[in-house]
Amino acid sequence: MDLEAALGAAAARSERVVASALSGVGGPIPAPMLYAISGGKALRAFLTIESAKLFKIDPNVAEKSAAAIECLHAYSLVHDDLPCMDDDDLRRGQPTVHRKWDEATAVLAGDALQTLAFELVAQTDVTDQARLDLTISLAQASGVRGMVGGQAADIAAETARVALTLDQIIALQKGKTGALIEWSAMAGARMAQADTTPLQTYGDCLGLAFQIADDVLDVEGDAETVGKAVGKDAEAGKATFVSLLGLDGAKRRAADLVTQACDALSGYSEDAELLKDAAQFVVARRH
């Protein structure tokens, strides 16, 4: 299976798990929840499933955790798009949830996706200790120590009198973007109760490269291809990897991070080829 097929399979698998979990649930919230998790790259679900394969864990076992991280990611996007944050009209080339429905529905759909994530990860069919590790680490990666903390720092930076330094941006993005990617990369090792160090290095480098690529796309991309508004960082005078390193410098930093990510997988031989391909994809993508 090539990378494109593997990403598609991970997306289909995680969407199927979520649809099954919501089957029979009434009310207005399941529809926007399913809408929010559809149409993305499913990179985090892919990383969860592929990292599990390194330890001979079947995708059928890993799929609940893969769906969980997609729910967590989708919730973050739904809330990030709200008028009180980034105020975006488009996500993945479609109207954002609060535009297609309304703000209250978007808030509740995001809340429900977040709680469903923990319901699903807690159902992963591994040992009790592994399930506990997965659940606690997901809470840490998504909360004030990770994604939420990074998002709060990003919002604060928009009105700060002094622009962030490169080190501050790296720290911010390791939370906002990197924490969930790193969790996904380490999920397989946690399921197997194995050493997480190589996959933590891989996930850390991948997450930072992903954010640098996003900053580059905000400069070079077009809204139709990217699937969301572009040029907003420069318009807001926001400090980014591109503004601090320059376009070419940012691309070189991303390429170096991809090399480091792939080197971290050297102990897994051919089993890690798709994960290496994913690292290359992160900086070559156009959306």
Q: In this model, does residue 65 exceed pLDDT 70? A: yes
Residue 230 — pLDDT band, cuts 50, 70, 90? low
* Beta bridge mates, 250: none
| 122: number of Cβ within 10 Å | 15
Report the C-alpha gap between 103 and 99 in whole angstroms. 8
CA distances from 41 to 23, 70, 281 (A): 24, 10, 11
Residue 52 is predicted with a pLDDT of: 98
Report the C-alpha gap between 86 and 157 in whole angstroms. 13
Task: Express each pLDDT in 168-183 by its tens digit.
Answer: 999 999 999 999 999 9
Query: What is the percentage of the chain residues whose pLDDT exceeds 90?
Result: 85
Task: Express each pLDDT in 187-202 by its tens digit.
Answer: 999 999 999 999 999 9
More confident residue, 201 or 270: 201
Residue 225 — pLDDT band, cuts 50, 70, 90? low
Largest pairwise CA distance in the chain: 51
More confident residue, 142 or 222: 142
Is-contact 13 49, C-beta < 8 A? yes
Task: Express each pLDDT in 11-34 by its tens digit.
Answer: 999 999 999 999 999 999 999 999
Average pLDDT, the chain: 94
Q: In this model, does residue 112 exceed pLDDT 90? A: yes
Domains and CATH numbers, the chain: 3-284 (1.10.600.10)
What does the H/E/C string look like for the chain? CCHHHHHHHHHHHHHHHHHHHHCCCCCCCHHHHHHHHCCCCCHHHHHHHHHHHCCCCCHHHHHHHHHHHHHHHHHHHHHHCCCCCCCCCEECCEECHHHHCCHHHHHHHHHHHHHHHHHHHCCCCCCHHHHHHHHHHHHHHHCCCCHHHHHHHHHHHHCCCCCCCHHHHHHHHHHHHHHHHHHHHHHHHHHHCCCCHHHHHHHHHHHHHHHHHHHHHHHHCCHHHHCCCCCHHHHCCCCCHHHHHCHHHHHHHHHHHHHHHHHHCHHHHHHHHHHHHHHHHHHHCCC
